[in-house]
Amino acid sequence: MVDGLEPPPAAAAATQPAKANKSTAEKKPAKFSHWYVGGGGSAPTGDMGTVTDIGYSGMLAYAAGVGNMTQMRLGGAGNYWSASSSDANFYDVTGTLDMLVGKRIPGFIAPYGLIGGVGGVRNTSPPPGFTGYARDPLYGARIGGGLNSRRIFVEVTYQQVWVAGESSGYVPFVFGFRF
Each residue's pLDDT tens digit, 57-75: 999 999 998 888 899 999 9
pLDDT of 121: 55
Please state, in angstroms and rounded to a whole number, the distance separating the CA atoms of residues 124 and 139: 17
Query: Averaged over 39-68, what is the pLDDT?
Result: 89
pLDDT of 64: 93
The reply to whether 151 falls in a domain is: yes
The reply to whether 26 falls in a domain is: no
The reply to whether 14 falls in a domain is: no
Inform me whether the pLDDT recorded for 174 exceeds 70.
Answer: yes
The reply to whether 13 falls in a domain is: no
The reply to whether 168 falls in a domain is: yes
Query: Averaged over 11-22, what is the pLDDT?
Result: 55
The reply to whether 1 falls in a domain is: no
A 10 A CB-CB count for 75 gives 17
Q: Which range scores top for mean pLDDT: 121-130, 155-164, 167-176?
A: 167-176
pLDDT of 29: 47
The reply to whether 150 falls in a domain is: yes
In percent, the amount of the chain with pLDDT more than 90 equals 28
Domain containing residue 165: CATH number: 2.40.160.20
pLDDT tens, position by position, 96-142: 889 999 876 666 788 999 988 666 555 555 555 555 555 556 677 88
Higher pLDDT, 105 or 150: 150
- pLDDT class for 168, splitting at 50, 70, 90? confident
Q: Which domain holds residue 71?
A: 33-178
pLDDT of 141: 83
Averaged pLDDT of the chain: 77
The reply to whether 24 falls in a domain is: no
* This prediction's pTM: 0.73
When divided into structural domains, the chain yields a total of: 1
